[in-house]
Amino acid sequence: MKIQSIAFLSSVTLLLTAQQPAQQPRTAGQAFKNIKVITNMPAGQLQGAMNFMAASLGVDCTYCHTPPAMEKDDKPTKQTARRMLAMVNEINKNFDDKILVNCATCHRGKTKPVTTPPPPSLISPFTGKIATVSQQPLPTVEQILDRYIKELGGMQALESVTTRMRKGAVEVAGVQGTFEFYEVAPNKGFLIGTLPPPVGSVQQAFDGSSGWVKNQNGVFDMSGDGLDQVRREWVFYGDVKLREQFKEMSVAGRERVDGREFYVVSGTRPDGQIERLYFDVHTGLLARRYSETPTYFGGLPNAVDYDDYRKVGKVRLPFVVRKVRGGTILLQNISEYKLNIKVDDTRFKKPAAQK
């Protein structure tokens, strides 16, 4: 069996992906038990579709499923989900079967769809004046990236760090635990995470070419989308050497989010995916990386937010990292960094399977 999940996600995701068969038949109806509505969906797209539905309602898999027996029908919410999927399919038939309506259309992150229009804005519509933001000339991509590197301490100082350990508290889908993450340039990583039962201890490692996951169900090889994402995200200088990661980069504009001003840089990755990088106008620091994963129902938002940058040695590093993956929110509050420590290669070696 193989596991598709990455980077210490929720126990439900780990349980679900650990049960996927190594050889998947053509459709979801053939590959998985008790699929009744989306039977003709390609089997490889089922996990993304489930993540999309969970994110659309602001829930995790346990809202409809009973891990590890994901095929059970013992929750009324699962029956409701089937009726909703049938309704969505019927609506989309009116648009030549294009998926223009999905779960997010009505739910917007809530378990119950919104049935009333939003209340009027408290801002009076009769003032006759609309506040405008001064349209100052935008900096170039090079100016934004150069300022970012300078604020981090300069490329020479950044490249002088070749190993790194960070540890602290972690919260996954509202469940609190701890983590330690060891990194070695250019792209090795070893993660230890601990959450309350049923997850307990989870270990993940990537040696630069292959990876593995160890949890309460055993030891599994990383594969598929999970392995691809680890290859992309566990690059030691991944948040520093940004130019090398994109075929094209351009300044998309200046945006205000939650009262903060950002320069937004749009980048096209070699695989064609578009990523948006948000740099704080006032500090010059990278605050967010945003992209969307295509799923059967539509684009699923992915984001990594960086906050509370502090000086560690000669460089500045974020002490708060927030990730949104497949609708699951992972929050790291880092208590300590150690730089240029010795990291034994045995950490990346796959452990023997438990008998």
**Per-residue pLDDT tens listing for the chain (355 residues):** 233 333 344 333 433 333 343 444 588 888 888 888 888 888 878 878 888 888 888 787 888 988 778 888 888 888 888 888 888 888 888 888 788 888 888 887 788 887 766 655 455 444 444 434 456 789 999 999 999 999 999 999 999 999 999 999 999 878 899 999 999 999 999 999 999 987 788 999 999 999 999 988 889 999 887 888 899 899 999 999 999 999 999 999 999 988 899 999 999 999 899 999 999 999 999 999 999 888 888 888 889 999 999 999 999 999 999 998 777 889 999 999 999 999 999 999 998 876 5
In this structure, the answer to whether residues 36 and 156 fall within a common structural domain is no
Range of the domain at 150: 141-348
In this structure, the answer to whether residues 177 and 90 fall within a common structural domain is no
Assigned domain for 2 exists: no
The pLDDT assigned to 4 comes to: 33
The pLDDT assigned to 334 comes to: 98
Three-state secondary-structure class, residue 235:
coil
Partnered with residue 193 across adjacent β-strands are 179, 202
The pLDDT assigned to 117 comes to: 65
The pLDDT assigned to 187 comes to: 96
Q: What is the CATH number of the domain that holds 42?
A: 1.10.468.10
The pLDDT assigned to 167 comes to: 98
In this structure, the answer to whether residues 270 and 208 fall within a common structural domain is yes
DSSP single-letter state for residue 59: -
The pLDDT assigned to 335 comes to: 98
Assigned domain for 132 exists: no
Peptide bond into 186 cis (omega under 30): yes
Assigned domain for 123 exists: no
The pLDDT assigned to 51 comes to: 82
In this structure, the answer to whether residues 167 and 252 fall within a common structural domain is yes
The pLDDT assigned to 120 comes to: 54
How many domains is the chain partitioned into structurally? 2
Angle (CA) 344-347-348 rounded to 5° is 115
Assigned domain for 117 exists: no
In this structure, the answer to whether residues 100 and 211 fall within a common structural domain is no
Assigned domain for 33 exists: yes
Q: What is the CATH number of the domain that holds 258?
A: 2.50.20.10
In this structure, the answer to whether residues 97 and 178 fall within a common structural domain is no
User: What gap in Å lies between CA 111 and CA 104, rounded to an integer?
Assistant: 10
Assigned domain for 134 exists: no
Report yes or no: 181 and 343 within 8 Å, Cβ to Cβ.
no
